[in-house]
Chain A
Amino acid sequence: GAVVSQHPSRVICKSGTSVKIECRSLDFQATTMFWYRQFPKQSLMLMATSNEGSKATYEQGVEKDKFLINHASLTLSTLTVTSAHPEDSSFYICSATKSGTGGYNEQFFGPGTRLTVL
């Protein structure tokens, strides 16, 4: 299989606090992990690409100081939303690619995290 877990599934926090979301590949080593955000009735939008042991590459318009990504091991990447504000409320979902698939960049997704900032 290729199972990706994400924790927490749902979080509610106060404005100004920081929230950390974890993404783990449970049964494979993930060379690359991706973080997406989805606003209501919109598509999944890529926020950043993260490779183990190196700095994440952020998409245009995504603030790197706001959305801190750490990919410390081949099975774990974390996204920290710093000083969260209500406009950061969204659905965040991660994905991972397997090393050695040699193929078509298939991504395996976690179940997502619903963040609500009050």
Chain B
Amino acid sequence: ILNVEQSPQSLHVQEGDSTNFTCSFPSSNFYALHWYRWETAKSPEALFVMTLNGDEKKKGRISATLNTKEGYSYLYIKGSQPEDSATYLCAFSLTSGTYKYIFGTGTRLKVLA
């Protein structure tokens, strides 16, 4: 059974703090790793698609890194703001053709003003 784990499950940070979370996934048959931000009552919003070992992606104050050999990805938020409060999901997809995602349970972030 393929498993994707995210940690921590939840965290609270103060406005202005930087934070990071982890997504662990199987290192075999890797195709892509996807990060989403999911606010309550909205659609999950795609943040990054990461495919190559050593990939680093950045979008504003949010960045992500990828290590496919050891099977993990980190998501970093610099200078957290209350609007960053959301659940951050990662999803692992296997070698191309199947299009299937395997999701982690998410990290719930609350940024306190």
A-to-B contact residues, CB < 8 Å: 4, 9, 32, 34, 36, 41-46, 49, 93, 97, 103-112
Contacts and interface: CB of A to CB of B under 8 A. Distances in A.
A104 B44 contact: no
A110 B43 contact: yes
6 contacts: A36-B103, A43-B103, A44-B101, A104-B34, A105-B31, A109-B44
Contacts of A107: 34, 91, 99, 101
B103 A103 contact: no
Interface of B: 4, 31-32, 34, 36, 41-44, 46, 49, 51, 89, 91, 93, 96, 99-106
Contacts, number: 56
A43 to B, nearest CB: 4
Contacts of A9: 41
Contacts of B103: 36, 43-45
Contact of B93 (A43, A45, A105): A105
A97 B43 contact: no
A9 to B, nearest CB: 8
